[in-house]
Amino acid sequence: MEHVLDLIRESYPEIFQLFQPVNANSELIKKAKIIGLPNDYYQLYSLVDGEVESSHGVFGLHRFLPLVESLENQITDPEALIDIPRKFQYDLFVPLFQTPGRQLIGYAKYGHQWDFAEYDVWLGKLNDQSLTTFLDSFYTKLKQGGYVTEQGINGLIDQAEKEAYSEANNTKPISGKSTEAERGDPIFEMPRLLEVLRKEFVIALPQDWSELLLDVEVYKKNGKPIVRCESYFKIGDHPAQYFELTSDFECTDVIARFQYLMEQEGQHWRKASLTFENGAGVKVCITDE
């Protein structure tokens, strides 16, 4: 792991200053080791103790959490530890990184095994098998010039993600579906949500879909979230077409969790129009608070 930090220091010395020195609190280190995490977790913390609070994320806008934050932000609630698409139950999640959008990346435990996972709309296993492979991927891209800096951002930005995000934010609001009703200006965006839902959408959508439009209503009945949803898709400039989401699509869980995430950002709604763009993000227009 030293080679990763060395390359950051060599390529972006000002960004390297965002790292904190190793934590010398022996009791905190002992507490971490009791959990029995994979060795690379402890190895990284033996080199640096996360990043300063003002950092937006050295590892491609992923802020490496100080050890105390990693331990304090463990997730133990069984309901929050479900990988919904796989219907898989984890026992514990210990975060290592946090994005500006508050997504967490770390280790999720089941039995005596650990998965490298992300907690976003739900907890899900990542393609990277471990912290080590995550850092190796970062190192390779950094060496190839795949990360850039930007004024006002304390961290490194993935060049490819920056371009995709800019494209998503520059798209025009969608006007209507089959009724051509005005959907209004988007007031909230979460581009990464589409990445989480993509596997579910492709089950029901034609391969050449360009936009997915969902008109949803979310409320609670007897303490449980109820979701009403009308769904449409578009192909290019053709009129929107109605379709039914398949039974494999966990609509209630996904939309309810998405509404919850927005509430954490101060956006409360009962009815909303969601516009997804293939390869981009999701825009939300609140239609009835």
Last residue of a domain, one of 134, 159, 184: 159
Residue 244: its pLDDT value, please? 65
* Residue 138 predicted with pLDDT over 70: yes
Instruction: Summarize pLDDT for 235-272 with one digit per residue, the tens.
Output: 877 887 877 654 434 555 667 767 777 776 677 888 88
Instruction: Summarize pLDDT for 93-110 with one digit per residue, the tens.
Output: 999 999 876 688 999 999
Q: Please tell me whether residues 155 and 179 are part of one structural domain.
A: no
Cα 144 to Cα 4, 116, 133, 166, distances in angstroms:
13, 24, 17, 21
Give me the mean pLDDT over the 68-73 stretch: 94
Which tops the pLDDT comparison, 280 or 220? 220
Please classify residue 247 by burial: count the beta carbons closer than 10 Å to its beta carbon, then call 0-12 exposed, 13-18 middle and 19+ buried: exposed
**pLDDT over 70 percentage in the chain:** 72
Give me the mean pLDDT over the 206-225 stretch: 74
Residue 245: its pLDDT value, please? 59
Last residue of a domain, one of 159, 179, 205: 159
Residue 94: its pLDDT value, please? 96
Q: Please tell me whether residues 102 and 184 are part of one structural domain.
A: no
Residue 15: its pLDDT value, please? 96
In a domain, 164, yes or no: no
Owning domain of residue 261: 171-288
Q: Please tell me whether residues 40 and 93 are part of one structural domain.
A: yes
The tokens describing 130, both together, are 């471990």
Report which listed range, 181-190, 193-202, 218-227, is most confident.
Answer: 218-227
pLDDT band at 219 (very low <50, low <70, confident <90, very high): confident
In a domain, 275, yes or no: yes
What average pLDDT is seen over the chain? 78
Q: Return phi, psi of residue 215, to 5°.
A: -100, 115
3-class secondary structure per residue, 158-205: EHHHHHHHHHHHCCCCCECCCCCCECCCCCEECCCHHHHHHHHHHHHC
Instruction: Summarize pLDDT for 13-55 with one digit per residue, the tens.
Output: 999 999 999 988 888 989 999 999 999 999 999 999 999 999 9
Residue 121: its pLDDT value, please? 62
Q: Please tell me whether residues 62 and 139 are part of one structural domain.
A: yes
